[in-house]
Structure 1
């Protein structure tokens, strides 16, 4: 496999003073591709053994940037959630759902999201961070639909018919719930 070298890098969402280790793995079997992934506090970057030190540094920097970009996309800020909710409301609900706030919440229990009709606020479970964007979009759209129809009656489900991945997202969340030992069919 070659040798393993450890370096230091800055974690994607940590303060600049907090560092995480970067492990570079050189492989003789790897001829052209470079890959990177997070493993706890470490970032593993796999490169071909033939790469020079300059190529190694270049590719480690590229792969760290790609990982950060990918993670940022999967973990939008509260402001990005608001913008995403507005966009989903425009695209699928003719702009009729207008929440007063949309933010991440760590205290959702077994729910994926919640909507408070009294003040028009939406809370999205932090357990959704890192899940595919189409799953997050479904949960946001589900909660937006509650601003227009509080229950889960036929009118409510008609609002979600326009979103092409509703069934897929519901199945994904049911699978995650099953794995996490939650009862199937738990409300979003």
Structure 2
């Protein structure tokens, strides 16, 4: 790889059997793979995954303005245009969550670690935070707002895998919330 390439961190897991995934974390690309992969195969897989992450990054909203525009599109398409954030921006200080929302002032912040992930994943996190503008807690009505997103389960599974591989707590699911319970914890 060229010296201008991003730093790459390989994380091997004995629990991971076949899948290889990669995502951007700050200034580096993290590649998750099974522990049993040979060094030769590792080299090939890392090159392939770095190429994919860089290609995905080229298609993503890179600026806060792009992100705000994408929020408007997602709100219109999946929330009937009802979510109106005041600001949406990338932040580099979220290490234990993918995004956060402050409904009181209409601000949404997304972790810059999402920038190396597939677009359907960052769209899901953005949509999740947009839904918090309409429903602040993670109750049943909140999860009902997200049901129309066709990549919902796929994106959640992706994030669960990344969280597991990096030691983050797993994302909250609709099954984690009782019918009468509400929580202030943000995704």
Query: Partners in 2 of 1:113 and 1:164 — Cα distance?
Result: 20
Q: What runs of 5+ residues in structure 1 fail to find an aligned partner?
A: 1-5, 9-18, 22-39, 42-66
Greater relative contact order (Cα 8 A, min sep 6): structure 1 or 2? 2
Is this contact kept in 1: 2:131–2:145, CA < 8 A? yes
**How many residues are paired up?**
130
Q: Tell me, yes or no, if structure 1 residue 87 matches structure 2 residue 89.
A: no
3-state SS of the aligned residue for 1:103? strand
* 1:162 match: 148
TM-score of the pair, normalised by structure 1 = 0.62
Deviations 1:20-41 (A, max 9, x none): 48xxxxxxxxxxxxxxxxxx99
In terms of Rg, which structure is larger?
1
* 1:118 match: 104
Q: Tell me, yes or no, if structure 1 residue 183 matches structure 2 residue 178.
A: no
Cα RMSD for the two superposed structures: 2.6
Query: Partners in 1 of 2:63 and 2:145 — Cα distance?
Result: 26
Deviations 1:25-75 (A, max 9, x none): xxxxxxxxxxxxxxx99xxxxxxxxxxxxxxxxxxxxxxxxx977532135
Bigger share in strand? 1
Q: What runs of 5+ residues in structure 2 fail to find an aligned partner?
A: 6-26, 29-52, 173-185
